[in-house]
Structure 1
Amino acid sequence: MIHLPVVRQGPARALGIRLGAAISLILGAVAVIYADRDGYRDVNEDGLTLLDCFYYAVVSLSTTGYGDITPVTEAARLVNVLIITPARVLFLIILVGTTLEVLTEQYRRNLREARWRHKLKDHIIICGYGTKGRAAVSALLEGGLDKHRIVVIENDESTVRQAVSAGLVAIEGSATRSAVLNQADVKGAKAVIIATDSDDASVLITLTVRQLTGGQVRIVAAVRESENLPLLKQSGAHHVIVSSATAGRLLGLTTTAPPLIDVVEDLLTPGQGMALAMRSAKRDEVGSNPRQLDTLVVALIRRGKVLPLGGAATVEIETGDMLVYIHDDRDGADERPLTV
């Protein structure tokens, strides 16, 4: 089921509320009629039973009115004028209003979903909206990605509601199933980020995405244990991040070289000072050594591969190269942050 980021009352709940109101209205009318049953005349002239009161209330509120039971006393007729007739109008409003609202809501939902699918292109699919998934979404939004280009797949209903309340499109279901991934239009996606809490699920999702897309969609996965990294690579993941090993290295740096942690946090936290950015090589930079540029270039990406800048080897910039560099995140320059 696709959950678009608009919080509204579900048709089933709205129908249940109105059905309860209609039943309550009928029971109220029955109580009034039964209390004044001596003021009514039945064609059988044997008096009104409780069943007769139910019958009269239903046919009166539904405007059927067979006429076999009629109010004859002034009190009974006054009750019909002041209670039964307004109840009849309210009963019709409930029935007609419920039908119109359910049909309108269903049409509106189908229309919004059709528009969403029509605009969906080069989107990012996030499999899992836990701690890692939410952090990935935050990084994408900070990198300038439109919120409407992010689709979350989550199996937990409460977590799905969190994603929808954050303004994201969420699909409730398991990302290991082909049908759920097809709902997210995995073939038209730009990338799939796998941020589940289970390495087994990550492997299965990777295999499923690779089977559906033929390896044309970039797959980025996170695993807990480093021993599962080769398995994710073999399954088709283009990039694999080992969360436990990364956390362990950061903990080690905190102990042996605390200032390095401050630098890493500064680079990873937007708006704090230093930040990593990536841009295309300019025409006048072609043929130059990246170390000679005014900006601090830390990596050179050529045809999807990272070229080392350290050592004695000299690397010259070529047309089409991407430069990864460090810039001041507060200077407002025209720079594109590193995104998926």
Structure 2
Amino acid sequence: MAKGSWRRLRRLDERLTVQPSYALVGVLRIPQGQAGPMRIISRRIAIAVTALLVASVVVYLDRDGYRDVQGDRLSFLDCLYYSAVTLSTTGYGDITPISEFARTVNIFVITPLRIAFLILLVGTTLEVVTETSRQALKIQRWRSKVRNHTVVIGYGTKGKTAIAAMLGDEAVPGDIVVVDTDRAALDRAAAAGLVTVHGDATKSDVLRLASVQHASAIIVATSRDDTAVLVTLTAREISPQSKIVAAIREAENQHLLRQSGADSVVVSSETAGRLLGLATTTPSVVEMIEDLLTPDAGLVIAEREVEPTEVGGSPRHLRDIVLGVVRNGDLLRIDSPEVDAVEAGDRLLYIRTAGH
């Protein structure tokens, strides 16, 4: 496709990034930093019931200072009824305080409880009404501050597993943004404390809403290879500096991902096939590979800078088990003649114990 045609197509994208924050509520969700709404409402209901019971007990202890329209002595149920209609400001007038002490108690006890009761109920109502405004403010604040985060396209098996690996490597959930068209998947991601964006990641505005232009890494974990190519191409156009890692099913599409701008490409079908083949003859090798790929237990593959005391030495004779050397952005195997001696600025891929 010609570059001019590509840019014209990009202009057809829905302009999400120029929408006001309140219009993005439901599209972009920021994880809650506090208790959920049901817990808040339940707590407030409990406080309201407590205030009602306190008022009922106060009236019951001074029940002789009250009179109902029939002149009968008040029961606790009558006191509860009186407290309910009084705190809610209904005030039918069928039960009234007649003694000076009862009226004094009404002024200094029942009236403050009534005010607190109303503030509680009105506050809960206002909070529900202003939830959209509060979410819009959080979205505006997040968009202005988010930097160096990771954007994951697709929350299927591959995307979810990739995020689990990052979290096991001590990544912060709030620094991970998930983009997907499946609302059920996004609900699960939001429940895990991740930022979510609902939309088609092949559209540049959806990716801009996820702030890919400020992301340090982008993981493309879509279910289709052609979608992965288009997402990678769009993401690379928006963010030339971000590291893009993409997963595909078929190896024949690997060069397309590379040409689209992916820094690393994982062929899921071939990788799974190799592990299946190894498992038939050397199952312990597969078990060891699984252990190395699990960041929160056993042995893990890590990367670190070369220490000054290690410069000039052989990577085979270091205290760590070195698997490879990253030099000028290229990965060199440990048996490569170029890495007979490590140099300043090299990075080592080595095996360490999880948690160390």
TM-score for both structures, normalised by structure 2: 0.66
Preserved contact between residue 236 and residue 261 of structure 2 (Cα < 8 Å) = yes
AA at the equivalent of 1:244: S
Structure 1 CA distance, aligned partners of 2:126 and 2:205? 31
Matched with 2:185 is 159
Matched with 1:117 is 143
AA at the equivalent of 2:246: A
Matched with 1:208 is 234
Matched with 1:193 is 219
Larger Rg over CA atoms: 1
Shift of 1:271: 4.0
1:1-340 alignment runs, 5 A limit: 1-6=27-32, 8=37, 100-101=126-127, 104-213=130-239, 215-310=240-335, 315-329=340-354, 332-333=355-356
AA at the equivalent of 1:155: T
AA at the equivalent of 1:169: V
Quick one: structure 1 residues 112 and 312, their matched pair in 2 at CA, closer, same or farther if it must change by over 3 Å?
A: closer
Preserved contact between residue 326 and residue 332 of structure 2 (Cα < 8 Å) = yes
Structure 2 CA distance, aligned partners of 1:112 and 1:238? 33
Q: Over aligned residues, Cα RMSD in angstroms?
A: 2.6
Structure 2 CA distance, aligned partners of 1:174 and 1:273? 38
Quick one: structure 1 residues 219 and 271, their matched pair in 2 at CA, closer, same or farther if it must change by over 3 Å?
A: closer
Q: Residue by residue, what CA displacement relative to the aligned partner does 1:90-137 show, whole Å, maximum 9, x if unpaired? A: xxx9xx889844652222112222232233110000000000000011
Quick one: structure 1 residues 258 and 97, their matched pair in 2 at CA, closer, same or farther if it must change by over 3 Å?
A: closer
Q: Residue by residue, what CA displacement relative to the aligned partner does 1:241-297 show, whole Å, maximum 9, x if unpaired? A: 000000000001111222211211121123432211111110111111111112111
Any unmatched runs of 5+ in structure 1?
A: 10-79, 83-92, 334-340
Where do 4+ consecutive residues of structure 1 move more than 4 Å? 96-99, 311-314
Shift of 1:143: 1.3
AA at the equivalent of 1:112: K
Q: Residue by residue, what CA displacement relative to the aligned partner does 1:50-94 show, whole Å, maximum 9, x if unpaired? A: xxxxxxxxxxxxxxxxxxxxxxxxxxxxxx968xxxxxxxxxx9x
Q: Alignment partner of 2:130: what SS?
A: helix
Q: Alignment partner of 1:125: what SS?
A: strand
Of 251-260 and 123-132, more deviation after overlay is shown by: 251-260
TM-score for both structures, normalised by structure 1: 0.68
Structure 2 CA distance, aligned partners of 1:234 and 1:117? 30
Of 219-228 and 305-314, more deviation after overlay is shown by: 305-314
AA at the equivalent of 1:251: L
Structure 2 CA distance, aligned partners of 1:251 and 1:138? 22
Q: Residue by residue, what CA displacement relative to the aligned partner does 1:149-188 show, whole Å, maximum 9, x if unpaired? A: 1000010111111111111110111111111111011110
Quick one: structure 1 residues 127 and 311, their matched pair in 2 at CA, closer, same or farther if it must change by over 3 Å?
A: closer
Matched with 2:98 is none
Quick one: structure 1 residues 312 and 97, their matched pair in 2 at CA, closer, same or farther if it must change by over 3 Å?
A: closer
Structure 2 CA distance, aligned partners of 1:179 and 1:167? 23
Quick one: structure 1 residues 185 and 258, their matched pair in 2 at CA, closer, same or farther if it must change by over 3 Å?
A: same
AA at the equivalent of 1:146: V
Any unmatched runs of 5+ in structure 2?
A: 1-26, 39-90, 94-118
Q: Alignment partner of 1:307: what SS?
A: strand
Matched with 1:15 is none
Matched with 2:114 is none
Quick one: structure 1 residues 280 and 101, their matched pair in 2 at CA, closer, same or farther if it must change by over 3 Å?
A: same
Q: Alignment partner of 2:323: what SS?
A: strand
Structure 2 CA distance, aligned partners of 1:321 and 1:288? 12
Identity, % of aligned positions: 46
Quick one: structure 1 residues 262 and 108, their matched pair in 2 at CA, closer, same or farther if it must change by over 3 Å?
A: same
Structure 2 CA distance, aligned partners of 1:313 and 1:81? 93
Matched with 1:64 is none
AA at the equivalent of 2:171: L
Q: Residue by residue, what CA displacement relative to the aligned partner does 1:184-208 show, whole Å, maximum 9, x if unpaired? A: 1111000110001111110110111
